């Protein structure tokens, strides 16, 4: 297969869905006389001025494929592509290069769902105007084959571009094995549907905002029902203030799969069950902040397989439990360490029943301030835990979770060190 010349670009201000393919000459070449043959990857009746191998050709076929990477430029009017367009037609609208405009355009949706080459990058340019999924947007899934590489969706420009989801009773994006970078996503659903669902996801430096009109907002921003492995790093999740949204991330069991997640350097606010690990194993949450929620992390199914860890996190101003194991399986081989719990209305760390966790689970080096319930419920406390008598943060109400110098608060944590065994 021919390597693309670069990213496929979208710009909802200067782009075009009728005169651009998204990859090729900066100023697109286009027309209305393309001819395709069902048994051949050759396309004729076009202009190849400024066109190179690796550019993307769009032919608005009446059925089947519409986009393919150009393998060779044969003449001033002909190219051979990587893929057969699978029909015999003439007089078709075509374009090479420029930038496409919208996701909701039917041809753009086909590009995302079936025609985009594996390993491609889609660059979504910031214009000050939000993009829309235009209903459920299905993305091409990466498989397990050697050539089934991840398709990346990346925001570029002075700010993160925002993608608004469906404004009705619908999931907004369905993805499996796709990567998302430097984007904002806004839920607008009228019911508690998940926003971005799939099998496994890679999400970096993104922000998720719940503006939906459902009572409990989005059913979850990230929803995986049969995940292999997913990672979420340096992201922010903002639920509905006051009424709270259902979940930021939900791992749900189906088809015998148990999902694993690596969640790093993220911030969550205004959720009921912020991370809902119904059927997971080996879930790692590190250096994250959970604030103004009901529950923080909830491992809640009886078939959760355990091996879960929470390290270096902050749980602040939660009305329920911060780390909760509703499954006896989930607590096995799990750990919570180097984490601060403050203003917790329920329990800081809890299990649904007394399990002999001493043979496998590890809870230690945690700090507790103003816990209404118990520091540990049905679990053994760590021998190096700290009970604080003062607020440890500089200004938690305004999102500053740096340690202060207050006696009994941040000063205690600043002066505490542990000697590693040897």
What pLDDT is attached to residue 78?
98
- The CATH number of residue 176's host domain is 2.160.20.10
For the chain, the helix, strand and coil percentages under 3-state DSSP, each to the nearest 5: 5, 40, 55
Residue range 264-269: mean pLDDT, rounded: 98
**Residue 193 CB-half CA count within 13 A:** 23
Distance CA(91)–CA(76), nearest Å, equals 17
Mean of per-residue pLDDT scores for the chain: 90
What pLDDT is attached to residue 304?
58
Q: What is the pLDDT of residues 346-393, one digit of tens each?
A: 999 998 876 555 568 899 999 999 999 999 998 889 889 999 999 999
Distance CA(278)–CA(260), nearest Å, equals 11
What pLDDT is attached to residue 256?
54
Percent of the chain with pLDDT over 90: 67
Model confidence at 147: pLDDT above 80: no
In the chain, the number of structural domains is 2
What pLDDT is attached to residue 420?
46
Residue located via tokens 């076009």: 46
Model confidence at 338, pLDDT cuts 50, 70, 90, reads very high
Model confidence at 317: pLDDT above 90: yes
Does 137 lie in the same domain as 39?
A: no
Model confidence at 255: pLDDT above 60: no
Residue range 177-203: mean pLDDT, rounded: 89
Q: Between vectors from CA 325 to CA 359 and to CA 380, what angle results, nearest 5°?
A: 40
Reading the block at residue 44, the tokens are: 């004729």
Domain for residue 118, yes or no? yes
Model confidence at 421, pLDDT cuts 50, 70, 90, reads very low
Torsions phi, psi for 412 (to 5 deg) = -65, -45
Q: What is the DSSP string of 341-376?
A: EEEESS-SEEESS---GGGT-EEES-EEEEESS-SE
Domain for residue 163, yes or no? yes
CB 230 within 8 A of CB 248: no
Torsions phi, psi for 328 (to 5 deg) = -65, -35
- The CATH number of residue 54's host domain is 2.40.30
Does 154 lie in the same domain as 125?
A: yes
| 184-198, 248-262, 386-400 — most confident range | 386-400
CB 34 within 8 A of CB 51: no
């Amino acid at each position: 297969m021919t390597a693309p010349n670069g990213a496929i670009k979208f710009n909802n201000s200067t782009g075009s869905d009728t005169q651009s393919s998204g990859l090729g000459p900066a100023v697109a070449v286009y027309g209305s006389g393309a001819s395709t043959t069902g048994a051949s990857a050759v396309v004729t009746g076009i202009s190849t001025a400024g066109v190179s191998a690796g550019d993307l050709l769009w032919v608005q076929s009446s059925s089947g494929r519409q986009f393919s990477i150009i393998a060779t430029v044969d003449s001033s009017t002909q190219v051979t592509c990587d893929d057969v367009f699978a029909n015999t037609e003439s007089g078709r609208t075509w374009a090479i290069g420029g930038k496409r405009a919208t996701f909701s355009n039917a041809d753009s949706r086909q590009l995302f769902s079936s025609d985009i080459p594996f390993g491609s990058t889609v660059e979504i340019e910031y214009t000050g105007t939000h993009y829309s999924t235009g209903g459920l947007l299905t993305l091409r899934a990466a498989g397990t084959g050697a050539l089934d590489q991840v398709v990346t969706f990346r925001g570029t420009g002075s700010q993160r571009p925002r993608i608004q989801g469906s404004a009705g009773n619908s999931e907004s994006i369905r993805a499996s094995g796709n990567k998302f970078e430097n984007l904002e996503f806004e839920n607008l659903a009228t019911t508690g549907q998940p926003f971005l669902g799939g099998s496994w996801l890679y999400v970096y430096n993104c922000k998720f905002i719940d503006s939906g009109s459902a009572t409990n907002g989005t059913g979850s921003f990230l929803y995986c029902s049969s995940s292999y492995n997913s990672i979420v790093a340096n992201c922010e999740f903002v639920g509905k203030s006051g009424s709270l949204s259902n979940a930021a991330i939900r791992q749900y069991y189906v088809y015998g799969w148990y999902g694993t997640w690596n969640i790093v350097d993220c911030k969550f606010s205004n959720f009921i069950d912020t991370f809902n690990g119904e059927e997971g194993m080996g879930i790692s949450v590190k250096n994250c902040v959970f604030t103004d929620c009901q529950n923080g992390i909830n491992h809640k199914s009886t078939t959760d397989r355990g091996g879960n860890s929470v390290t270096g996190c902050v749980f602040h101003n939660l009305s329920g439990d911060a780390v909760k194991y509703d499954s006896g399986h989930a607590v096995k081989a799990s750990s919570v360490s180097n984490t601060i719990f403050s203003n917790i209305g329920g329990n800081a760390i809890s299990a649904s029943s007394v399990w002999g966790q001493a043979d496998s689970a590890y809870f230690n080096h945690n700090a507790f301030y103003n816990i209404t319930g118990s520091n540990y419920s049905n679990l053994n406390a760590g021998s190096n835990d700290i009970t604080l008598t003062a607020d440890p943060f500089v200004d938690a109400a305004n999102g500053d979770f740096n340690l202060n110098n207050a006696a009994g608060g941040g000063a205690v944590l600043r002066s505490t060190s542990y000697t590693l065994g040897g």
